[in-house]
Structure 1
């Protein structure tokens, strides 16, 4: 299977499944979570009852849609790290049932749902739903990028200096200091949304020019990397190599609205 095998009808089914999970498990709980509905997952990270219910819905319905594909859900992989090995299978669904959980648990936007389909470690389809606005982005390998059904091309902000969303959340203190001293002064730095379902569209829609990600777990980035690349921007590893979902331990990823902006930031990071 490849991206060209994914028909509009197939994407419509994926979208319907994602909207069902969002409208059933996520939106009704927005700003109405009980304290017991929020559980500390790791340092500066939480999970909610909405994450688990959304993942159950998505896992079941996506498995029905494409029975030959395995499923890697964020919460299932957190509970059993052996599930990561499924990313090396032939066809594999990758599910972030509630992206931006910290925002959601705090009663603020943005947050959404991310789904990707990979084949042999390469993403062939990606779907991104903003739970509150309903904006739906999708991309197919060699098939273009779309927002609400309309084909899109990534565009820079045209601001000078360029706009950068620099994630330093998972950097150690020394790395963070280097980024703030040597990288940040070259850009107009803005806050990250802490939500990949929002960050990747910002790079396409002319809101941000570049972004740096340190931790690149597959459910956060599989759909967005494909979406940005298919829109004509560039997302790749720090050394320029292609992002693959089956390499989940290597850190570092740059996203940019144009290849030129990607090259400029990569050169600066290489000098650190």
Structure 2
């Protein structure tokens, strides 16, 4: 796994530098497309994913890639996320931020075997921070092992992504959190939100959409750091289960308290 990590790390850093940073704040109008309302794709997403496919499959012969843009072109590809050795790839997470010329944005990669995530990587191309995790082997930031830590605030600080919640769920969550959870701005980038949970910036995060490229790397990173992510009903998050609704927290205790507060 060490050689694989070194290869993935080097590949992602190179693509981050040569593609993402090369296009950042330099996009032309024709290089940005809207796949759906408020869902963008840029030339950088496409170039990054093509290079990740080439590089990752070379690192692990016999593996295949399930990438966000590949699935956008052929929805059936998502079924391969739980087959064999699968790289789960978000070539540019936070595309809306990137297209607007602002941070944060990230590149995210996970390696799954038979539907079980074995390793994950989250690169911040601007600052160069690499978050990495290995199943049963811990969570690391730039090679240093870390343990998730709560913010220590009088109330838990929660990044609640309520935008995609059904209206009734949103109203209930906001009412239940008032006076009990300090609401933080969301970064519109899962590749930034997961590090915030592990590094003491936020205590909680609520996600509604659960696409594998948004969560497979970060979920492993958070849990290997000692945090918890699960379905709202407490069932484990598993690759291949794309039902909506995920609650993440910097510790299991915070998760239990938040689940009771928001949904109990």
The normalised TM-score by structure 1 is 0.95
In structure 2, what is the Cα distance between the partners aligned to 1:148 and 1:184? Answer: 37
Report the Cα offset of residue 56 of structure 1: 0.2
Aligned counterparts, 1:188-203, within 5 A? 188-203=182-197
In structure 1, what is the Cα distance between the partners aligned to 2:163 and 2:11? Answer: 31
Aligned counterparts, 1:162-177, within 5 A? 162-177=156-171
In structure 1, what is the Cα distance between the partners aligned to 2:180 and 2:37? Answer: 30
In structure 1, what is the Cα distance between the partners aligned to 2:231 and 2:167? Answer: 22
CA deviations 1:31-59 (Å, max 9, x no partner) are 11001111001121111000000000001
1:254 match: 247
Contact preservation (8 Å) 1:70, 1:89:
no
> Given the superposition, is the C-alpha separation of residues 184 and 78 from structure 1 closer, same or farther in structure 2, using an over 3 Å criterion?
farther
CA deviations 1:197-218 (Å, max 9, x no partner) are 1100000110000001100100
In structure 1, what is the Cα distance between the partners aligned to 2:5 and 2:150? Answer: 27
CA deviations 1:90-125 (Å, max 9, x no partner) are 211000000110000011100010000011211110
Provide the alpha-carbon RMSD of the alignment.
Answer: 1.0
Give the unaligned 5+ runs of structure 1. Answer: 1-5
In structure 1, what is the Cα distance between the partners aligned to 2:14 and 2:130? Answer: 13
In structure 1, what is the Cα distance between the partners aligned to 2:259 and 2:171? Answer: 17
CA deviations 1:188-245 (Å, max 9, x no partner) are 1011001111100000110000001100100000000000000011111112222111
In structure 2, what is the Cα distance between the partners aligned to 1:171 and 1:236? Answer: 17
Aligned counterparts, 1:1-272, within 5 A? 6=1, 8-248=2-242, 250-271=243-264
The normalised TM-score by structure 2 is 0.98
In structure 1, what is the Cα distance between the partners aligned to 2:178 and 2:140? Answer: 31
Contact preservation (8 Å) 2:173, 2:263:
no
Report the Cα offset of residue 73 of structure 1: 0.5
Contact preservation (8 Å) 1:55, 1:75:
yes
Report the Cα offset of residue 184 of structure 1: 4.1
Q: How many residues align?
A: 264
In structure 2, what is the Cα distance between the partners aligned to 1:136 and 1:174? Answer: 38
Q: Secondary structure at the match of 2:40?
A: strand
Report the Cα offset of residue 268 of structure 1: 2.3
| Structure 1, 181-190 or 254-263: larger mean CA deviation | 181-190
> Given the superposition, is the C-alpha separation of residues 184 and 51 from structure 1 closer, same or farther in structure 2, using an over 3 Å criterion?
farther
